[in-house]
Amino acid sequence: MRAFQISSHAVGPALCDIPQPVPGAGELRLKIRACGLNFADLLMIKGEYQDTPEPPFTLGMEVAGEVDILGPDTHGPAPGTRVAVFGGQGGLAEYGCFASERVVVLPDGMRFEDAAAFQIAYGTSHVALDHKARLQPGETLLVLGAAGGVGLTAVEIGKLMGARVIACARGADKLEVARQAGADDLIDAETDDIRAACRALGGVDVVYDPVGGDQFRAAFRACNPEARILTIGFASGEVPQIPANHLLVKNLSVMGLYWGGYLKFRPEVVTGSLQTLFGWYETGRIKPHISHVLPLDQAAEALELLRSRQSTGKVVVTPT
C-alpha cells in the first residue's frame, strides 16, 4: 500500500510503498477514506511535536474510513462500519491500524471528509471553551488565528455557547470566512492594533490562542479582570513568556489545552465532548469548513497549504 512516511527527520517525508499493516490485540485495521491535516503534522516532520513517534512512521493524526478487519481478541465495530479515529499517526495511507477503544462510529450521512476534519478541531475548541474556560453566555471571546483549523471552530462554538465573538485573522478573505462562521467583530492582524481594537470593544473575557507571539501579548493586555486565556498552540513559532505579576493585578488565569492528552488521563472528557459535537452536527448546528481536498500523491502540497497559511479551516487528504 502507499503511505506518506517519515524515515528520518533530516530527510523529510515521502510517499512510499509498504506492506499493509496487521492489527494486533486491541486493534482494528481501517480502510482509510480521508485524513485531516493539522499543524502538529508540520511539527512532527521536524521532530518538534510533544508526541512525535520514532521514525519510521506515517504522518496523519485523524482519519475516517471503514473497518476492514479486527485484531485477535478485539471488540469493536463490525467490518464495514463507518468510523473515525484519532490515532496520532498513520492517517496518510491507504490502510492503518488503530486502537479499537479510540474509534467512534459516524452519524448517518456524515461524509468521510467531514469526519476526518472533525475530531481535533471541534474537540479542541469545545473542550477548551466548555470544560476549561467555562465560557458563559454574554461574555466576550477573542479568537486568534480565527480562520485556521481550530480557530474557525472556536468562532463557531463560541457563538453557539452565547458569547460575543471577536475574530482576529490576517486579511479580508480570512476575516470573511470567520464572519460567515458567526463572528460578531473582526480584527485584521496584518493592519489593526489588536489590543486597541479589543479595548474599544469593551475588552475580552476569554482568549483562544493557537498563535502565540506578539498576538498573545496584545490579547493579554486587552483582558478584562478575571479573564481566562487558553493557550492552544504556537503557530507563530514563538512561545510567549507570561508576566506573572500582571496575572495578579487583573486576577487572570492562563490555561494550557492539549486535547489529545485527555485520552490518556481523562478520556471521558473527550468522549462526552464528541457526543455533544456529533449531536450538533446531526442537527445542522455545526459543519466543518474544508478549504482543500487533495489526493494522497499530493500530500506534500497539502501540508504546504498549512505551512504557508494558504488554507482556511481544514485541509483533507484522500487516498485517491
CATH number at residue 157: 3.40.50.720
Report the alpha-carbon distance of residue 198 to residue 223 in Å, rounded: 8
Task: Enter the C-alpha cell of residue 89.
Answer: 499517526
On whether both 76 and 200 belong to a single domain, the answer is: no
Residue 98 shares a structural domain with residue 172: no
Query: pTM for this structure?
Result: 0.88
CA distances from 26 to 43, 167, 174 (A): 28, 42, 42
The residue segments making up the domain with residue 175 are 121-259
- For 211-226, the pLDDT digits (tens) are 999 999 999 999 999 9
Helix segments in 149-257, DSSP class H: 149-160, 172-180, 194-200, 213-221, 244-250
From first to last of its 320 residues, the chain has per-residue pLDDT tens of 999 999 988 888 999 999 999 999 999 999 999 999 999 999 999 998 888 999 999 999 999 999 999 999 999 999 999 999 999 999 999 999 999 988 999 999 899 999 999 999 999 999 999 999 999 999 999 999 999 999 999 999 999 999 999 999 999 999 999 999 999 999 999 999 999 999 999 999 999 999 999 999 999 999 999 999 999 999 898 999 998 998 999 999 999 999 988 988 898 999 889 889 999 999 999 999 999 999 999 999 999 999 999 999 999 999 99
The DSSP secondary structure of 195-218, one letter per residue, reads HHHHHHTT-EEEEEESS-HHHHHH
Give 75-115 pLDDT, tens digit per residue.
999 999 999 999 999 999 999 999 998 899 999 989 999 99
- Structurally, how many domains does the chain consist of? 2
Whether 82 and 184 share a structural domain: no
**Same domain as 148, residue 249:** yes
Note whether residue 270 is domain-resident: no
Give pLDDT tens digits for 194-212: 999 999 999 999 999 999 9
Are residue 164 and residue 251 in the same domain, yes or no? yes
State whether 86 and 188 are in the same domain. Answer: no
Structural domain includes residue 219: yes
